[in-house]
Structure 1
């Protein structure tokens, strides 16, 4: 009876490890993809801000003036910029968390048997 109790206690611990890895791999992939998109968004916003400031300055105005029009141009993309930075930080944290979990669990998780067997060149050529 002691053997069956020991087997039952170790079962749930082993089952939680693959579940964590199954979550970590998509978190790493999705976090990395979203981070790349956020960086591209922030670069586009930077160029749009620069373009708007240049066009506004052509008429002899300064973008740093205290006028309402200059203030509106400076704040035009502020919401998208803040949202992009927040999403970038969150996606980098998700990617970093997934990478850490995968690094710490490397070599300890059995990927499972899909019923596939290894096939080498001799099996394919029939020799």
Structure 2
């Protein structure tokens, strides 16, 4: 095979280039960002629930009462809380899967150096 018939180095297939492993690092980053946002949302919801319960209790009422108003206040952020927990669990599972893929392919990635060892003297030239 002549040199002109060979595919360029960048187009050759390397062991770690295909499949889901290519998307593992971006998926890990994205899922970490989503997890942080979900945790922040849960903290904000906790403080809002605490504030609402405090304001409701000022008049001598108890947030744990069986009245419609107390139930409405308790369920005010239920949808946001449930959605945040679902997204948090999904993002943590995606981060775990991406971490496993990165761990599995850690030695087969071939960073384009041809597998050559480079020492300090080679860098100084």
With normalisation by structure 2, the TM-score equals 0.76
1:37 matched residue in structure 2: 37
CA RMSD, Structure 1 to Structure 2 (Å) = 2.0
Specify which structure has the higher proportion of helix: 1
How far apart are residue 104 of structure 1 and its match? 1.0
Structure-2 change in CA distance of 1:24 and 1:77 (3 Å): same
Specify the alignment match of 1:18 in structure 2.
17
Asked if 1 retains the 8 angstrom alpha-carbon contact of 2:27 and 2:98, the reply is yes
Does the 8 A contact of 2:45 with 2:81 survive in 1?
yes
Unaligned stretches of 5+ in structure 2?
A: 1-12
Partner of 2:75: 75
Q: Deviations over 1:21-80 (max 9, x none)?
A: 221111110011110110000000000000000000000000011111000000000000
Query: Matches of 1:27 and 1:61 in 2, distance apart?
Result: 47
User: Structure 1 unaligned runs (5+)?
Assistant: 1-13
- What is aligned with 2:3? none
Superposition pairs of residues 41-120 of structure 1, within 5 angstroms: 41-112=41-112, 120=123
**Native 8 Å contact 2:15 2:109 kept in 1:** no
What is the aligned length?
Answer: 105
Q: TM-score under structure 1 normalisation?
A: 0.75
